[in-house]
Amino acid sequence: MSNATGAVDEILPARIDRAEIEEPTLLVGGSSWSLSATCEWRWVKPDGSVVSSSMGEASDLVWDLVGDEIVAAQWSGPSALGVDPSFELRSGGVLDLFSDASFDTWVLHTPALVLVGPLRDP
């Protein structure tokens, strides 16, 4: 799994050029990468306020991610489903992904490879 998570580190810092929701999917991306998340997600803003997939107004709020940068990725501890990322943003915010079922996934396209999460050891 370290090769997979290392591919994420290679694209950092990753500027966010687009952010939108096409129900039920969060779409975030930049010039050489993209992320789509059908799983639960939470964006904790620098001021501590939270935008999440369960909020009706989330589609209007995620636009504020544009212009920020992902500067680091942390990975959750292994669960029965695998591991999910937590992206640290230059602004001080954090974007967390939570796969709570095998069909609730996320897909991260990088120049090196495509990751489909939650990640599991082979």
Per-residue model confidence as pLDDT tens for the chain (122 residues): 566 677 788 889 999 999 999 988 999 999 999 999 999 999 999 999 999 999 989 999 999 999 999 999 998 866 667 889 999 999 999 999 998 877 778 999 988 889 888 887 65
Question: Does residue 108 lie within any of the structural domains?
Answer: yes
Question: Does residue 122 lie within any of the structural domains?
Answer: no
Global confidence as pTM: 0.91
Q: Is the peptide bond before 85 cis (omega within 30 degrees of 0)?
A: no
Question: Does residue 121 lie within any of the structural domains?
Answer: no
- Print the SS3 string covering 95-121: EEEECCCCCCCEEEECCCCEEEECECC
> What angle (nearest 5°) sits at the alpha carbon of residue 99, between those of residues 119 and 50?
125
Alpha helices in 11-122 (DSSP H): 58-61
Distance CA 40, CA 4 (A): 21
Count up the domains in the chain and report the number.
1
Question: Does residue 33 lie within any of the structural domains?
Answer: yes
Q: Residue 96's domain spans which residues?
A: 2-116
Distance CA 9, CA 7 (A): 5
Question: Does residue 43 lie within any of the structural domains?
Answer: yes
- Using alpha carbons, select from 87, 88, 82, 70 the residue that is nearest to residue 117: 82
